Structure 1
Amino acid sequence: MNIVIVPDSFKECLSAKAVAANISIGILQVFPKATLVEIPISDGGEGMLESIAYGIEVKLVTVEVMDPLMRNIEAQYGILKDKKTAVIEMAKASGLELLKEEEKNPMITSTYGTGQLIKDALDKGCTKIIIGIGGTATNDGGAGMVKALGARLLDSKEKLIKEGGGYLNELHTIDMSNFDERILQCELVVACDVRNPLTGKNGASLVYGKQKGGKTKDLEQLDANLTHYAKCIDATLGIAVANIPGAGAAGGTGAALLAFLKGKLSTGIELMMETLQLEEHIKNADLVITAEGKIDGQTLHGKTIAGVAKLAQKQHVPVIVITGNIDDNIEEIYTMGVCAVHAIVNKPMNLSEAIAQAPNLIQQCAKNIMGTIAPFARN
C-alpha cells in the first residue's frame, strides 16, 4: 500500500513534521510493509520554512531581529539553491509562538522583525521572496515591517509613532524618502491562507484580534486604527487597501505587502503544494492522509486540508483526515474527496491533557484507521 502523509502542524502542540512521523508510526503497526511518503506542509503560516526545507534543498540563514515585543532574538529564513529566491516565514520573527500567554497584546506587538528578514534577503542578493504570513502575534497592519525597510511613520509632531496596532491612530504622515527601493525590483509572492479584508466585521481586528491576545474592549479600537491607517496609505500611495481580500491577513500585514512592497497574494496551500510538487507524489498513491489541529468552517477556505483534498480528488485518490478537534459546519468537506474525519481524542480530557498526549493519540488514531482498512485491503 502506498500512502502519502500530508499534515499541517497542530498549532502550539506539534510541528507538521512531528505529526507526519507519528502518523507513520501508527500506520506501520498495521501495515509494516507500507510505502510511506511524508510531506509535512503549511498553508503559509508557522511551519512553512520547515516544510519547504524538508521537501527541497534550502540554505538556512540565521539573523538577529526584533521579536513582536522588540526584543532581540535569532530567526531563520531560507534561500533556495538558485541563490536568488528567499523563503521567509513571518512567524519566525513576528509569530504568536514567540510569546508567552501573558505577553500577547496586539496593541503593542510589531512586525518590525519581519522587515529585518526581508532586508537581509535583499542584502544577500535575493530577487524573489516567497513570504508566508500566517501565525503572527500582530495587528499593526505591517507598520513595523515597513519601518524596518526605511519608511517613516510620523505623528502630527513629525515623531515616529510607537510600535503596535494601538498607536496607528496617531499616524499623520508617511515618509517614503528612505524606503528601501530594492524591494520594488524584487518579485514578492505572498502565501496567504485567509481572504479577510483589512477592516470591518470580517477584518483583521474583529476576527483575529482576540486570538492574538486582544481584549474585547480593544478590538473596536484596533479596527478603527487600521481604518485610519488605510486612509493614510491611500493618501500617500494612492492605493485603497481596506477592502482588498487578503489585506487583513497577519493582522493587516497583507495590506502593507500589497501597498508598500507591491506583493502579489497567493493562496498559501496552493503555493506550497506547487513548490513541493505534491501532485506528483499523490498520482501513484492508494491513500492520502492529511491532518490539522482543528477542523471548522474556515477549513473549507484556503486551508491545508481543503487544498490537499481537492488535489487528491483530481487524481481520484481517497483522503482521510486526522484532527485534534472537529467543530460544526464541516459537511461540505466530504464533497471535496474526503472519505472520513477522525478526531484523535479517545476519552474525556481537557486541552492541556490532549496536547501532552498528542503524539500517542495520533499514533493510536492512525493505527485504528489502518485497522479498519486492513480487512478490505487484504482482500
Structure 2
Amino acid sequence: MADTVDPLRVVAVPDSFKGSATAAEVAAGIEAGVRAACDNAGRPVEITVVPFADGGEGTLQALLSAWGEEARSVPTVDALGRPVSARFGISPDGRLGVIEAAESNGLPLIDDAEFEPMRAGTRGVAALVEAVLDRGVSEILLCIGGSATTDAGAGLLAGLGARLLDADGEELPDGGGALAQLDRIDLTGLDQRLHRISWRVACDVTNPLLGPRGAAAVFGPQKGADEDQVRQLDDALDRFARTLLDDPESVIDKPGMGAAGGMPLVLHGVLGAELLPGAELVADVLDLRPTLAAADLVVTGEGRLDEQSLNGKVIDTIRRLTPATTPVVVLAGEVALDAAQLADRGLIAFSIAPGPRTLSELRTETHDQLRRVAQSVTAVFLSGARRSPPTETTESPA
C-alpha cells in the first residue's frame, strides 16, 4: 500500500496592517507564501483564509471579505451633518446586519474640517440602522470604534424617531453640548422594529460613561475638546443619562459605557444591546473556533505586535481560541515584544521587514514580504513535522 501524506491544514487569520494592507490583503500574502512552501516540499495543503478584525474600524470589510459579500451603501451625514455615503453589510443568510458606526460618525470623515466636539453627533448612524432594518435582519452587529462624537448616542436616538426636548418643548440641536439643555425625552416615535431584533455591540474599552475615566475625559481631547469642554460634556452626558433612564446608576458605571463617546448608553439602556469584546464577537460571528481547532498551523498578523496586542485584541484572541498544542505564528511589520513575553503567551513572531526601510517603502512591499516570510515559516514547520505513517484504521488520533 502506497504511503499517503495528509494535507497540511493551515489557517491564515490576520488583522489588517493599518495604512498598508487590509486584512484580506494580508491574508492573501500569507496564503501565497504557505502554498509556495508546500509546493516546494511536495506537501498537499488545505488553507483556510479568514480576514479578521477586533470590532473596530475595518471589521465591516473583514467580515464581508470572509463571507465573499459586497458592501451596500446608503446616503447619510457625517458627525458634522455633512452629506456622506456610508457602507453596511448583510450576512449571506440575510439574518445579520453589520454596521460600522465610523462609516458615518468617524474621525477620518471630518479630518478636512475643524473638530467641533460640542456639536459632533451620531445622527448619521441612524440611516445605517434603518437601511439594515429594511433588509429584514433579525440581528444587528454594531462596531462603534473610531468615533468623532461625544453625545452618548443622542443623535442616533433622535435619528430613529425620538424627540429630545428643552424646557420650552423645542427639539435640541445635535451634539453632546446641547444635552446640557435637555429637559425631557419623547420615545413614542421610535421605530418599533428596533425592539424586535437583537443587538450586539463590539466594544473593546472598559471605561464608564462619566468621571475621570469617562467618555469625555479620556476620549474627548482626541476629538478636539479642551478642559472646559470636557467638563461641560461630562455634565451634559450625566444629564442625558438621568433623563433617559429610570435607573441610571445601574448603567452609568457599567464597563464599556464610555466607548465611542458614550454611544452604548442608548444602545444598551434603550435598545437592550449586549456589549461584548470586539475580537471575540467577530470570532463568534465567523464561527472561528472549530476552524482553529482543526488546524495544524495558525498564521496571524498585525502591523505592530506590542503589549496592547496581548490584551483582548486580535492576536490575543486567536491564541486563546486555538488549542495550546497548535503553533500560532504572528507576522508583523514590527515586533515590540521580547522572547520571554512571546513565550509566555505561546506565540512565535517574525517581523516582515527585511532591513532598514522607510514606512512608505514598507507599505509598497507588504504583500511580497508577507509572502516571503510566510513561505520561510512554513518551510521550517514542514522540515520539523513528522511524516504521518500509512494507517489501516479509521480511528481518530487522541
Letter in 2 for 1:290: T
Query: What's the counterpart of residue 392 of structure 2?
Result: none
Query: What's the counterpart of residue 80 of structure 2?
Result: 69
Matches within 5 A, 1:225-240: 225-234=236-245, 240=250
2:26–2:370: 8 Å Cα contact kept in structure 1? no
- For residues 220 and 331 of structure 1, the distance between their equivalents in structure 2, rounded to whole angstroms, comes to 43
Matches within 5 A, 1:175-324: 175-215=186-226, 218-234=229-245, 240-312=250-322, 314=323, 316-324=325-333
- For residues 208 and 293 of structure 1, the distance between their equivalents in structure 2, rounded to whole angstroms, comes to 23
2:29–2:370: 8 Å Cα contact kept in structure 1? no
Q: CA deviation at 1:177?
A: 2.2
Query: What's the counterpart of residue 37 of structure 1?
Result: 48
- For residues 225 and 342 of structure 2, the distance between their equivalents in structure 1, rounded to whole angstroms, comes to 31
Query: What's the counterpart of residue 25 of structure 2?
Result: 18
- For residues 114 and 26 of structure 2, the distance between their equivalents in structure 1, rounded to whole angstroms, comes to 27
Q: Scaled by the length of structure 2, what TM-score is found?
A: 0.81
- For residues 68 and 35 of structure 2, the distance between their equivalents in structure 1, rounded to whole angstroms, comes to 28
Query: What's the counterpart of residue 182 of structure 2?
Result: 171
Structure number with larger C-alpha Rg:
2
Tell me which moved more, 205-214 or 110-119.
205-214
Q: Gaps spanning 5+ residues in structure 2: where?
A: 1-7, 385-398
Q: CA deviation at 1:148?
A: 0.7
Secondary structure at the residue paired with 1:10? coil
Query: What's the counterpart of residue 137 of structure 1?
Result: 148
Q: Gaps spanning 5+ residues in structure 1: where?
A: none
Letter in 2 for 1:260: V
- For residues 196 and 348 of structure 2, the distance between their equivalents in structure 1, rounded to whole angstroms, comes to 46
Runs (4+) of structure 1 moved beyond 6 Å? 328-331
Letter in 1 for 2:348: C
Q: 1:160 to 1:343 in 2, by over 3 A?
A: farther
Letter in 1 for 2:287: Q
Q: CA deviation at 1:198?
A: 1.5
Letter in 2 for 1:45: G
2:38–2:378: 8 Å Cα contact kept in structure 1? no
Q: Scaled by the length of structure 1, what TM-score is found?
A: 0.85
Q: 1:327 to 1:198 in 2, by over 3 A?
A: farther
Superposed CA deviations along residues 134-180 of structure 1, whole A, max 9, x for unmatched, are: 22222221111111111112233332222223333232322212122
Superposed CA deviations along residues 217-243 of structure 1, whole A, max 9, x for unmatched, are: 6444433332333233335x7564221
- For residues 157 and 325 of structure 1, the distance between their equivalents in structure 2, rounded to whole angstroms, comes to 57
- For residues 90 and 194 of structure 2, the distance between their equivalents in structure 1, rounded to whole angstroms, comes to 16
Q: CA deviation at 1:133?
A: 1.7
Q: CA deviation at 1:85?
A: 2.8
Tell me which moved more, 8-17 or 209-218.
209-218
Superposed CA deviations along residues 87-135 of structure 1, whole A, max 9, x for unmatched, are: 2222222223323265444333221121121122223333321222222
Aligned pairs, number: 373
Query: What's the counterpart of residue 118 of structure 1?
Result: 129
Match of 2:169 among 158, 161, 165: 158
2:342–2:348: 8 Å Cα contact kept in structure 1? no
Q: CA deviation at 1:186?
A: 1.5
Q: CA deviation at 1:332?
A: 5.7
2:37–2:378: 8 Å Cα contact kept in structure 1? no
Q: 1:368 to 1:113 in 2, by over 3 A?
A: same
Q: CA deviation at 1:63?
A: 1.4
Q: CA deviation at 1:257?
A: 0.3
2:142–2:200: 8 Å Cα contact kept in structure 1? yes
Letter in 1 for 2:300: T
